[in-house]
Amino acid sequence: MSHAPFIVGAYLVAFVALAGLVIVSLADRRRVRRDIAERGLERKR
């Protein structure tokens, strides 16, 4: 049995899951910040 598909598959699964989480987290942050800006709730520095 060739092991390559299992190794590639495992790294692909990890990459898709973790990169997907990074993308979803960044998109969520951008959406919430846009909502904050639209309502004029930005913090004064």
Partner 1 sequence: MAQLHFLANPARFRRFSQRALPVLSFATALALAVGLYLALVVSPPDYQQGEMVRIMFVHVPAAWIAMAGYMLLAALGASLLVWRHPLAALMARGAAPVGAVFCAVCLLTGSLWGRPMWGTYWVWDARLTSMLLLFFLYLGHIALSRAYDDPGRGDRAAAILALVGAINVPIIKFSVDWWNTLHQPASMMRLGGPAIHPAILTPLLVMAVALLLLYVVLVLLRTDTEIDRRRLELAEDVRGVAA
- Under the binding rule (CB under 8 A), the answer on residue 22 touching partner 1 is yes
Please choose, from the candidates 32, 11, 4, the residue with its C-alpha nearest in 3D space to the C-alpha of residue 42. 32
- Under the binding rule (CB under 8 A), the answer on residue 14 touching partner 1 is yes
CA dihedral 7, 10, 16, 17 (to 10 degrees): -160
CB of 42 closer than 8 Å to CB of 36: yes
* Count of chain residues binding partner 1 (CB under 8 A): 24
List contacts with partner 1 (CB under 8 A).
Answer: 1, 3-4, 6-7, 9-11, 13-14, 17-18, 21-22, 25-26, 28-29, 32-33, 35-36, 39, 41
